[in-house]
Each structure stands twice: as C-alpha cells, then as structure tokens.
Structure 1
Amino acid sequence: MLTGDLYRDRLDLLQAALDHINQGFSVFDADLRLVAWNRRLFELLEFPWHLAKRGTHLAEFLRVNAARGEYGDSDVEVLVARRVERARLFEPHTFERKRPDGQVVLVTGAPLPAGGFVTTYTDVTRDRQQQATLERTVAERTRQLRQSEDWLRLVTDSVPALIAYIGPGPVYRFANRRYAKWFDHTVESIVGRPAEEVIGPELYPQIVPHIDRAFEGEAVSYEYSRTRKDGRLVHMRSTLIPDRTLDGRTLGCFVLSLDATDQKRSEVALAEARRMEAVGQLTGGVAHDFNNLLTIIIGNVLSLKRKVEAPAMPDLAAHLDPILQAAQRGTDLTRRLLAFARGDTPDAKPVHLAALLSNIERLVAGSLPASIALTITSQAPALIARIDPSEAENALVNLIFNARDAMPHGGSLTVTLDEACLETAEAEAIGIAPGTYARILVADTGHGMSEEVRRQAFDPFFSTKTFGTGSGLGLPTVYCFARRASGGITIDSQPDKGARICLWLPVHHAIPADDADTGDMPMPAGQGELILLVDDDTDVANVVRDQLCALGYTVLVTNEAKDAVDLIASVPDIRAVLSDVVMPGQMNGMDLVAAIRRARPDLPTALMTGYRRGPGQEGVPTDCAAGDCPVLAKPFTICALAQTMSEILAS
C-alpha cells in the first residue's frame, strides 16, 4: 500500500508526463468535475489557470468559452446549460471547433466505465490549412483542365476533320462535333457508347478489323461508305493511330477521318472525262472521214437528181431518194456520235415536253409488239425545257427500245411526264443543282438489272445484249444528252422487278417560238465569180466543185494549201477561198487563212470540216467563228453552201 508521499510523487510524475503530450487532455468524473488535465489543454484553449484544479465543474470551462463568443451570440447561461445537458449523456463524440481567431481544434471524447469521460484536444489548424490549400489547388487544376478540354474541343471542332478517341471495349471516349454529327450523334451522346452501337450493325463488321489492328499497335488507314438518313451515299477516309505507353501497352486509338465524298465524285467525273476524251479522239477521226464520204455521196446523188428530174426517167429518181435519205441519216448519226463523244449542245431551244412525248408515241407505236402495253401520260402539259429536240427524241426512243428489249415476252411500259422540286440533298444524290425539274419517267416490267449492271449502264460500249445486237452507246448517249441539258438521269432497278429510269431536265420558263415556215426559198446564186477550192480529198473537191458550178460560180481547185497561197498571189481575179481545215503537210486550213489575211486581207474565206463546228474547237481558231470566216460542217447541203458563199462575198 502506497504512503501519502509516494502517492503524491506518483501523481506528480503522471502529471509531468501528461504535460509533455502535444495534445490537450482532460478527465471529468460522473459529476462532470475535473479529475485530470495537462498544461497543453490550458495553453491550447486559453483557459484561465485558476480553473486548473481538481473538482472544477465542466460548466466553468464552458462558461469561459461562451463568454468569449465561441458558441455564438445567444445568452451565455443558456448556451452553457445546453452543453452541460448534452455532456451528461456521456456519449462518444468527435467534432471540430473553429475558434474566433481561426484556430481549428479537433475534440475527441470517450465515456469511462464508472461514469465521466476522457477527452483529447488536438490543434489541426495547420492540417486544415494545408487541406484547404490542396483543395484550392485541385479546384484550380480542375478548372485549368476543364479550360484545356474546352480549348481542345474548340480547336477540334474548328478543324475540318472528324476526330475521335476510342478506348478499350471499344468505347468512344472523345469525339469532336463533326465526328458525332457524321454518325447522327451529339458530342454528349457519343461519349461512353460502344463503337458497335455508334457505327451501326451494317457498317461495324467492316470497321472492327481495323480497330482490332490499331489496338494491336498498328497504324491503319482505310475507306468506307455509308448511306445517311437523307438517302445520300457518302464516303470517308479514316486513319487509326494507336495510343501507346512507353512500355508498349496500347491504351486506345486516335481516329482522324476526312469526308471524301466530293473527292470521290471528282475522281468519278475525271475518270468519265478521260473515257469520253478517248472516245472523242476515236470518233472524231472516224467521223471526219465518214463525213467526207457522205459529202461525196450526197453531192453526187443531188447532182444525179438534178440531171434525172426529166419526166422520162422517173424510176431512176425514185431509186436516188432512198440513197439520199440514207446518207442524210448517216450525217445525223455522225453528228450525234460527235455530240455524245465531245459534249456538243447542238440546236438547243425551248421545247414543249408534252408535245415531244406525243411525237415519240407516234414514232415508236409501230416498233413495239402487241404484247407490250405502252402508256404515255403528261401530268404537267405546260412544262418546257431548253434542249435539242432531235437529241431528246433519240434519247427517249433509246429508253423505250431498251425497255422493249427487256420484255421479250411482253409487259407494261409507261412514260410519265411530271414536275418535281428537288431540295439540296435530293439534287446532290443525282448530281444536279437544286431547283425545279421536268421529270420523265420510263418504267417497264422487264427482267431488270443487277447492281453491277446498273453501275456500268452509262459506260461507253458496255452492253448486256448479244454481240452484234447492241452498240453499248444507247444509255451513254442518253446520259450525255441529260448532262448537256444541265440535267441528270437515275436508274432504279432490281433483277426480275423491272426498271425505272428518270430523266431530270431543268424547267425553262421562256415560251418556245413557233418555227418559221420558210417554204421553198430560192438559193442565192453566183455571177461567175472565181472561187478557189482547197481540199486534199480529190473526190470531195470534185463534189464541192460541181455544187459551186451549179450555183453559178467559176471554180479553181487545188489539193494543197501551199499551192493555194501561190495561186492567190498570182491570180488577182480570185474572189473567195473555200478550204478544208484538216489537210496533210505543214500547212492546214487555219494556216492558209492566216497566210491569206497577210497577203490579201480583203479576200473572203470560208472553211469546211468533217469535225464538229465550234469556235476555238477541233483546231478551228476563235476568230474564224466570226462572220468573215464561217465554218461549214461536212456533209453540207447545197443550200448551206449557197448561203455561205453569198454571205462571204457580200461582206
């Protein structure tokens, strides 16, 4: 048993130990009277030292705090009584109290088994200041990151490219506005969605192998196409760049995509232009020689007709008419072939389309079998388009005869004219400008086309018909006619479900003028003027010479441009020159015109060509398109020759 002195020594030792603790410490008994404490308690909470004795009631400490305003502005005794009542519950408690000077004290109390409680008081002011500083730093960093992300999104949304990031899953983690819009999403709706859900079940199987390769660490580039909700077929070029760590792990992949729709259209248009250029070069030479042959045939037939118009030889005249008609059809054929190959727009004028369809009905009625029911209706009879009527007739006859050939066992063939207003998306799908169009629909119930055939339908010389029964120029000719009229053509067809071909022609608002009735106007005749005729083809030269002589001119013929220059210098009586454009040697028709203008600027000249007529085209100089040097397209009629010679001699 401890003696009094020893007990006090032990308590003093215990007190000294408690005073060295860096936390405040107190023990209150069941009557809420102070039993033990340490120096740090009074220093930390600034209690007066006269309270530092055993038996001091808890209320005295609380009253000091309340008087200093640490519990608020209410009545001191009320505040003290409320806290004393709560302390009598002897419940564990932990709370922080911020003192008026900014000090933060953590108070932790625990009940004792015999009643009362022990409490520790810890100054956490510095910790809380550090925590507040850290929170402010985190908040500022978060704000900066959010600002950086906003800046990144602003940049990526401004770039004319589609940008995204795909994480494992694969799941979209980022997408700029263009990318999200491409897949009919918003920036908010695309993030967090699986790639399969965004891309769609039809397209995803094509793209997922590329995504897999990117997650394996390989940069991948590819192209794909998709049909948008508005029906437009669009094309995309994409590159996937793996997001790799220094240790070789792939965290995801960056997506960079560019809309290649316009470029694809340009490539198709360029390829088509190159094909047409090749066809044009081929047909141009063929047509030139063919036109020379037709010039000879028509000229000789007309000369024979003039000689056999006597009543004694009616049978011979009857035989000459079919020859002349065949030659004239050959002339029309070469004109259309050149128009198809080179893009001419001959004789375009405002045409009533309903009247054109009525004429077509009469033209094809005898060429369709009884098993095919033809119906032609005009739902907009006032529609007008600016087109070449003969080309339009040829195009529609081609479409009708193609439909006929697709129904060997009979069927239904309908041709419908109506009006349609195309918005931007619809027009772009066809490849024409938005606006109001006359739509001519040719629909049949024949065997239809496969998708492969439909894609190649407008390619020159492509044909599904038996060799020798189709030229492969039918639909390409129709296509070129539509394009020259600033319109378009579409095909909707499936195997065994017939075909629907639409011609789209821009509506023209001018009123067509009625063709003037020229009647039998007399041809202008010459008065013996000496004409120099230059053509390397002797047969052509002979025919043209005979025509000029029949018109009353005197003709001097040479086959070389160089000789023509010498004749012009030595024969001042030459009143005009008519020359072919294409001739062998170092001097052609254009060079001859230039030499004539240097030697005799006042000498009238005219040119002939088996190519198409057009200023600045097929080697015909632009200044030759003026009235002082007209161009005759072979084969030409004697009326056209007479009119041309009369005009240049009168100038």
Structure 2
Amino acid sequence: MEETKQLKAQIDLLQAALDHINQGFTVFDSDLRLVAWNRGLYDMLDMPESIVRRGAHLEDFIRVNAERGEYGPGDIEAKIERRIERAKLFEPHYFERIRPNGQIIAVSGTPLPQGGFVTIYSDVTEERHRQEKLERTVEERTHALQQSEDWLRLVTDNIPALIAYLSPGPVFRFANRRYADWFGHSIVSIAGRPARDIVGDELFAELEPHINRAFEGNAVSYEYQRERLDGTMAYMRSTLIPDMTIDGRTLGIFVLSLDASDQKAAEAALVQSQRMDAVGKLTGGLAHDFNNLLAIMMGNLLTLGRMEPPVGKEALDSKITPMLEAAKRGSDLIQRLLAFSRGKPVDPQKVPVSDVIGSAARLLEGSLPSSITLTIDAEDRCIGALIDPTQMETTFINMAFNARDAMPDGGSFSIALRATDLDSQQAQDLSVPAGEYAVITVADTGSGMDEDSQLKIFEPFFTTKAFGTGSGLGLSMVYGFIQQSGGAIQVRSKLGEGTALTIYLPLVRLQNAGDIGESENKASLKYGSGELLLLIEDDPDLSKTIADQLQNLGFAILKAENADDARQLALDLPELRAVLSDIIMPGQTNGLKLAREIRQNRPELGIALMTGYADWSALADNSSICEFPVLAKPFNDFQLAETLRKILQP
C-alpha cells in the first residue's frame, strides 16, 4: 500500500512537471490509446478536457479536429480514416499545420520500441512570422541594392564624359554609354574585350605607351585626335588613373576622356588674337574643375565594384554619397559659370566654415592618392562666413588637386581654420576693411614656387603644369570668388618647401551653428502622407526617377507625358492635391502656360515647376515673372520635399 502511494506521488510529480512545459505532449500505446499527456495539449490545441483521459483513442482527437475544420473541407470520415491508417505505421513524422485561426502548429512524432509513439506539439506561429519578415527584408534589401546599381549606371551614363576601366591585358571591364558609343560598341559588347580590338590597331599603337605607364603606377594625361563619322576631327583629352593596392600593386586603371575640341579651337584663337572672351575662359575652367569632380566619382566607383556582395547599406552609402555629391557639384558649377558669364552674383549663405571644410574633406578622402596625408583642423563651428558654400568647396578641391600635382611622390595636405582680428595695418596690406575674419590656411609639402610664379599665380591662363594638363583658370576663379565674398587671399611658397595659401573671409560669429542651413529646414520638413500628385515630364527615364523620389517622400503619383493628358487629369480628378510640371515640353504649350490654365480652373491645387535650363524664361514666355516655385534640375530629395511642403501647406 505504501509503495502504491509513493508511485502515485512520483507520477503526480512527473505530471506536474510535464504541465509546466510550454509545448503539447502526448504518449499513445500500440493500440493508439492515450497513456500520458500534459496541460499544454488542450491549452494549445483547444482540446475538450472530456476527451483528454487515459485510454482515450487517437480517433477521438482526430475527430474533434476534423469536425471543426482543422483539416480543411471534405469528407470527414475519410480524413479520419487516412490519419488513423498512417498512425498505425508507427513511423517518425514531422509536419506543420495551419489552424483556421492562423495559428501554426509543428507536430513531431517519434515511435516507441514496444509500439506506440510520443508526439510533441509546438506553437511556431511567431517564429514563422519572423522568418517571413526576415525573408521580406532580404528581398527588399536585394531590391534596394539593384536600384543602387542601376543608379550608378544612370549617373555614369549621363555624365558628359567617356569613362571606362581597364584591367591588365589591357582588357575593358567597364565602360559607360558615351564611351561605348564613341567606339561604335554597346555597353555589353565592350566588356571583356581587349583594348586593341575596341580602339583599333592604329589608335592603340598611339595609346599603348600611356597605358603601360599608367599600369606602372603613374597618373597619365594625354591628348589624341580621331576622325568622327561626319569626317570632322575630334580632339580628346584623356586621364588615366591607376587603381593601386596598399602594397603598390596596380589592379587596373580608370580612363576618363573629355572632348577637348572646343577648347583646342579656343586656344588656337587665343594664339592668333591674344585675347579670349569670357565664355571661352569659363569653358576652360569648366573642363578643369569637372575633371576633378569626375575623378572623385571614379575613385569611389571602383572601390564599390571590388566589394564582396552583399556590402551592407552603410558601406554602400559611404561610396555612393561622395559620387552623388560630386555630381551635384558638377551641376552647380555649370550653373555658376553660366551665371558668372551673364554677370550674376554668387549665392551667399551664412554657414559654419568648418562644415564646408568637412564636406570638401569627405569628397577628397577617396580621391587623393594614399601617398598624400590629408589633415583637417577645423573644429570651431561658431566661425561662420557669408559665402556660397558650393563654390567654397570647389575652391578647396581646386587647391587639393593643385597640391596633388605638386607632390608626385607623396606628402601632406592640410586645411586649418581659426579666427583673427585684423588691425588697420594688417587690413591695409590685404586691401580689406579692419575687423574680425575667418582665416583658412591651405598648405602642402610639394615642390613649391619661385617668386616669379607667386606673382603670377592668380593670373588667368598662368600655369606651371605641362601643356594639356591644366587650363590655368582654377586659381584665378578662386581669387575672383574670394574677392566677391569680401575677402582676400595670400600665398607663401618656397622651392622645395611647399606652398601655403591663406584665405581671409569676413567673420560671422555664430551663436548656435547647429540650427543654420539645411539642418534647420530638415527639422521642420513635412513629408507626404499619401497625397496624390500629378507629375508632367516628357522624358520617360527622368519621369521614372522623379516619380521614385516622390514615392520615397510618401506621395502617390500619376504621370503624364504631354500637356493634353495633364490638363485632362488635372480637371477630372478631384482628389488631386498638387501638380509638378517640367517647363519646357514638346508642342505648343509649355509648363508655365499649362500651370496658369490649371490654376484658373483649379485654384486650390498646389503647383510647382521644374527645369534644366539656366535661362528658361526666354524659352517659356520671355518673362522673368513666375508665380510658381521653380526647381532647378537636378535636385535632391530635400529640395523636392521643401518645394512640395510650400505648395501643399493648408
């Protein structure tokens, strides 16, 4: 009797332990009769406690499930019979069943040596949902990576330059659309082909020495001429930049070519007439500065191409962002040069100088050779100036690439920022008013200059570089920009000891630099919440790109390619909230005229315009008055969102 009580106590203890397991548990004997179970069985599967008893047959459990639709529609008795027959085989089994309430149950059965089996029931609903979410995340990130790759191709294909990459052989591994078109190939057909096959034996014989020198680790610039299909002669100016590892091995070379035909003609006219008009000067400066910006993109592009996929969003962004910033600066540069040629002033803004220096430094980090050490000493964000920040960044890039050329064997390049108070004598020496100034010192340890060169350094077309490697306009444009900003620039140099350029800008003391510039606007930026917008753009590729930007900002988009479709949609859709239209469109109606028609019939609609033309008013209605916001192409997400915020304000 005592032994029976002890056995019962042990069984009760075992049962209590089983009841605390968060899984369902059953043991059926060889006759398919229930021997043991735990509370998780009916808690998890909603089993009636009346059938959960010792000796209950497996059929009772299956019947409950079948009758409440756990196995789906169909003949209930047939479903029960099939499952009983399978159970009698006493084979290991595992399956997952989705219950009508969406719960996912994993059933795992293991046979016992004397017949019967042990079955474990696990609720895997959350685990499967997490797995599905993870799979969706992987799919989304894969899609984002593909979009990034497509964007890189879009950027390189639309840059007004020929860009390629050569691996040893030499063999083409990459070429943008312009490069492939120049040699009569497609992007696909040029990849993997030897350079001799693409450019032809005659031209390759001319280019081969330059290519070999670049593969030896040298940056090479040269010019060549080639006959166009129309019989005219084109002069190309090419730069080869070696792609080198830390230990000095050359993996390949970047190729950047620009059509220098117009510049060659301008130089010839200068020799004949000893003068060149302002447009000719600006063209030369554009070629010089655009080369610098494209070099930044090329350096980051190859680094990205060597990364093992998947690279991760942070690593990808660190390479894509400098290229996009450089492309934006290229666009800004063109707009500034056109504005300068028409006598328009720069766009001064009150900015922390340290932020501008930091932005330029990020652009330069992946573009200067590893043999040059870049040092930045600009921590004080309270030192501000009233300047055009983009033009100031271009100034630093100009100086950096000049310093690079002066240090072929390496060295150091530094930018330092401080504030000073110029007394009357110091100010008189610099030809500026006395007072507080932001002082920026840009120094290198290069070859330096003699006294005669220092006197001519800011003269247009003066350069110490070899013919064909510099326009001589970079520092003259820097000098003009600094003077327009109310400042001054000094040069100190000595042969063999490097060069230091010191820039003085009138100081704007910033009390709280953190709320200046775009950061303030971003903090108050209102993004979309599903509002319906009408996009009018006749270029399908550009229309898709802008539509993606708008969708990323949270707007729903309708697209129209012409004025007639746009007019109809604007008048027929009451749920439409705003219209974004290109100004210059094919046909008789331009975007400005269309916007005015829509405004007359739908005054509640927000309307904004966009254009890629610097002087669009002459093409639209020859009027400088426009009652709608105008976005200059290309624009970033912030500029687009800020414009939409203005026109969508209640």
Name the TM-score class by shorter chain. 0.3 to 0.5
Normalising by structure 2, we get a TM-score of: 0.41
Comparing both chains, which one has the higher relative contact order based on Cα–Cα distances under 8 Å and sequence gaps of 6 or more?
A: 1
**Higher Rg:** 1
